[in-house]
């Protein structure tokens, strides 16, 4: 029945390309995963990697340049900077990742439900989004932060709850266009339920912009936490975060650059790596293998 039709056959020894196989082709993403994993592991294992306490003040050795004793130097209270980077990373990475997850989940849910069901529900959800957009974030954060104990977890929650609106809008737009595709109608004609159509057929096709939004949110959250720390409303000293270390170092940026460079580099490295991972994921999630 099929004679004469050229058929592409995948040679038997090559497995069908899965997500991981496709992601592995993206060298930068693989390196980035390794970097993030390594940094997370180092932060988690901080006590094993350093002999200092993160809050051990040593007034005999303040603002020392990097040396064999203090790999990244010491800050203005004589605390070991390397130690503080490791402990600070625990908080900063937690805030970055957790708030991005919260914001993305919330935004995707709101956006996809609004786009998929349309009508009045869409209106209610999107006007709510507009209102949330219109609230000035920083003053609200200040108010919230002054009423809650500023731990890493609560900061992540607050930042996450205030950063879902862009995702919601983008996802709604994607869902609006994808739900008109012929394969959605085809799925419907085979008796698929609304939920199934939304989660199995529509959202996987919208994953690109969602992933991009999420990776941007990681970096953004780390930076928002820094701003709050700067205002004294973030995670409270002596607990270090990369953000508040950076803020502490402002006054001596010109004369003692290592105090700025190391926390800055840490933030840069994580944000950059997460963005590369997002890039790789976006390509890998598209089975046709096109480069985005």
Partner 1 sequence: MGTVLEVRDLVTRFHTSQGVVHAVNGISYSLDSGESLAIVGESGSGKTVAALSLMGLVPPPGRVESGEVILGGREILGLSGKEWRNVRGSEISMVFQDPMTSLNPVLTVGYQLTEGLRRHMGLSRSEARTEAVRLVDLVGIPNGVQRLASYPHEFSGGQRQRVMIAMALACKPAVLIADEPTTALDVTIQDQIVRLMKELQAELGMGIVWITHDLALVAGLADRVAVMYAGSIVEEATVADLYRRARHPYTLGLLNSLPDGDHAVSSRLEAIEGRPPDLRERFARCPFVDRCSHAIERCSTEKPVLESVGEKHTSACWRREDL
Residues that bind partner 1 (CB under 8 A): 1-2, 5-10, 12, 16, 181-183, 185-193, 196, 200-201, 204-205, 207, 285-288
Nearer to partner 1, 47 or 204 (CB): 204
Q: Residue by residue, what is the 3-state secondary structure of 11-67? A: CCCCCCCCHHHHHHCCHHHHHHHHHHHHHHHHHHCHHHHCCCCCCCCCHHHCCCCCC
Q: How far is the CB of 202 from partner 1 (least distance, A)?
A: 9
Of 12 and 254, CB closest to partner 1: 12
Sign of CA dihedral 40, 163, 148, 234: positive
Which tokens sit at 234?
Answer: 């973030």
Could you identify the residue written with the tokens 């990697």? 49
**In this complex, which beta carbon is closest to partner 1, that of residue 38 or of residue 186?**
186
Shortest distance (Å) from residue 115 CB to partner 1: 15
We find the least distance from the C-beta atom of residue 38 to partner 1, in angstroms, to be: 31
Q: Return the C-alpha torsion angle 130, 132, 137, 140, nearest 10.
A: 140
Nearer to partner 1, 47 or 287 (CB): 287
From the list 76, 82, 100, the residue with the least C-alpha distance to 39 is: 82
Least Cβ distance, residue 183 to partner 1 (angstroms): 4
Q: CA–CA separation, 22 vs 4, rounded Å?
A: 32
> What is the smallest separation between the CB atom of 246 and partner 1, expressed in angstroms?
40
**Whose Cβ is closer to partner 1: residue 34's or residue 181's?**
181
Least distance to partner 1, CB of residue 205, Å: 6
Q: What are phi and psi of 266, to 5 degrees?
A: -60, -50
Q: Which residue, 63 or 188, has its beta carbon nearer to partner 1? A: 188
The sign of the dihedral angle between the CA atoms of 130, 133, 139, 140 is: positive
């Amino acid at each position: 029945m099929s004679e004469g039709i050229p058929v592409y056959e995948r040679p038997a020894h090559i497995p069908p390309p899965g997500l991981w196989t496709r992601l592995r082709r993206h060298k930068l993403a693989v390196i980035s995963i390794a970097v993030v994993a390594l940094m997370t592991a180092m932060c988690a294992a901080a006590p094993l990697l350093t002999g200092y306490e993160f809050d051990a003040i040593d007034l005999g050795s303040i603002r020392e340049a990097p040396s064999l004793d203090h790999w990244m130097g010491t800050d203005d209270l004589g605390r070991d900077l390397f130690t503080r980077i490791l402990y600070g990373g625990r908080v900063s990475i937690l805030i970055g990742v957790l708030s991005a997850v919260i914001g993305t989940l919330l935004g995707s849910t709101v956006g996809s439900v609004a786009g998929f069901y349309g009508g009045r529900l869409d209106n209610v959800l999107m006007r709510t989004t507009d209102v949330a957009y219109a609230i000035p974030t920083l003053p609200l954060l200040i108010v919230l932060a002054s009423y809650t104990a500023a731990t890493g977890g609560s900061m992540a929650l607050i930042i996450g709850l205030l950063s879902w609106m862009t995702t919601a809008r983008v996802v709604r737009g994607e869902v609006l266009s994808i739900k008109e595709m012929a394969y959605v109608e085809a799925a419907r004609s085979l008796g698929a339920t609304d939920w199934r159509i939304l989660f199995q057929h529509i959202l996987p096709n919208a994953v690109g912009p969602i992933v991009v939004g999420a990776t941007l949110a990681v970096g953004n959250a780390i930076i928002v936490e820094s701003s709050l720390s700067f205002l004294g409303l973030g995670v409270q000293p002596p607990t270090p975060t990369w953000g508040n270390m950076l803020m502490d170092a402002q006054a001596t940026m010109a004369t003692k650059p290592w105090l700025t460079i190391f926390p800055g580099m840490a933030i840069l490295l994580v944000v950059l790596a997460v963005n590369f991972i997002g890039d790789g994921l976006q390509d890998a999630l598209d089975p046709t293998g096109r480069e985005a």
